[in-house]
């Protein structure tokens, strides 16, 4: 098996190309705590199945994970309740912005997929019912899988999201009116905003994602997901992980991926390695401009994709 250190020259070449890119997008401005990020920051890490990790740029700089956490919350809940989850959230691309209310009305409070905000709220709600502390369960998992016990919530980001969280509150209450939310909506929102506020680096997140490249096996060798469940999450990442740009991402990158408005993207090469890239400048669909370009170059230069 090729060691991740052999990817170092590829990463360095990508970093040089990104540095020459003039347009990097704009940071998320609807969350004030994220708006101040420099769009020219860039980091990228690759983790092998055995936990060897290499990187370039700001690959050890913590950033706001935001929607990247939705992947891990989904895995933790799916491991507990299995296919019963899919009675409450769908598996189809939405074709609408990640915070849209439109489809919920037509589809009786069942969100299209776990990665739009409505779907992530349902998954967080169900994990909270099963654990009593969804965000705490998530943080513990990320600390263990990344090997970084210092990972934590960012209270400034959580407070900022809460202060500007009217749309998420509307989604929660709307789904609750259809009986698709178990917990009090204010409790759910607190859990969700804490979840999204976790700060982690590219190295942390590449390492934490390895269970999806290892077909459901955690860092300590225990099984979190069945091989089939790991396949399911990778498939949903490919079709739904980059908001309403998933088709373009699959076309350019050819890997299961999940983006967040903090500028991070995680990606999986099943059976081989995992990646995380971070650059805060976003395109109009909420995906990192430099991040998508970097992953595009990685799969082009290495020939590694699911296609």
Tens digits of residue pLDDT in 183-239: 999 999 999 999 999 999 999 999 999 999 999 999 999 999 999 999 999 999 999
Tens digits of residue pLDDT in 94-105: 877 766 788 898
Separation between Cα atoms, residue 293 and residue 291, nearest integer Å: 5
Lookup: tokens for 169: 């509150």
Q: Are strands 152-153 and 257-259 parallel, antiparallel or unpaired?
A: unpaired
176: which residues sit within 8 A by CB, 6+ positions away?
Answer: 185
136: which residues sit within 8 A by CB, 6+ positions away?
Answer: none
117 is in an annotated binding site: yes
178 is in an annotated binding site: no
**Fold of the 4-302 domain:** Beta-lactamase (3.40.710)
**For residue 45, what pLDDT is reported?**
98
**pTM score > 0.85 for this model?**
yes
Residue 241 contacts residue 249 (beta carbons within 8 Å)? yes
Q: Using alpha carbons, list the distances in angstroms from residue 278 to 22, 27, 61, 112, 142.
A: 17, 12, 9, 27, 17
Active site residues: 67, 70, 192, 243, 261
Residue 224 contacts residue 80 (beta carbons within 8 Å)? no
Tens digits of residue pLDDT in 27-57: 998 777 788 899 999 999 999 999 999 999 9
113 is in an annotated binding site: no
**For residue 98, what pLDDT is reported?**
67
């Amino acid at each position: 098996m090729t060691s991740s250190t052999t990817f170092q020259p590829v990463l360095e070449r990508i970093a040089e190309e990104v540095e020459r890119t003039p347009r990097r997008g704009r940071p998320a401005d609807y969350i004030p705590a994220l708006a101040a990020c420099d769009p020219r920051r860039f980091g990228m890490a690759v983790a092998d199945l055995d936990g060897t990790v290499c990187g370039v740029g700001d690959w050890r700089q913590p950033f706001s994970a935001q929607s990247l956490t939705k992947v891990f919350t989904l895995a933790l809940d799916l491991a507990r309740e299995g296919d019963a989850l899919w009675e409450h959230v769908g598996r189809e691309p939405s074709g609408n912005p990640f915070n849209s209310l439109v489809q919920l009305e037509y589809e009786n409070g069942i969100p299209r997929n776990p990665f739009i905000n409505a779907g992530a709220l349902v998954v967080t709600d169900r994990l909270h019912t099963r654990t009593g502390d969804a965000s705490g369960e998530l943080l513990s998992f990320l600390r263990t899988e990344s090997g970084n016990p210092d990972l934590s919530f960012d209270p400034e980001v959580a407070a900022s999201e809460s202060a500007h969280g009217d749309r998420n509150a509307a989604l929660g209450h709307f789904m609750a009116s259809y009986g698709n939310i178990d917990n009090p909506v204010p409790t759910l929102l607190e859990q969700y905003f804490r979840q999204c506020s976790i700060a982690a680096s590219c190295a942390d997140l590449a390492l934490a994602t390895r269970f999806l490249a290892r077909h459901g096996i955690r860092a300590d060798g225990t099984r979190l997901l069945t091989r089939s469940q790991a396949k399911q999450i990778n498939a949903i990442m490919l079709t739904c992980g980059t908001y309403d740009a998933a088709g373009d991402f699959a076309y350019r990158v050819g890997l299961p991926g999940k983006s967040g408005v903090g500028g991070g993207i995680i990606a999986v090469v099943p059976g081989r390695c995992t990646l995380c890239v971070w650059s805060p400048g976003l395109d109009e669909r909420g995906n990192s401009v430099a991040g998508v370009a970097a992953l595009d170059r990685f799969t082009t230069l290495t020939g590694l994709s699911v296609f």
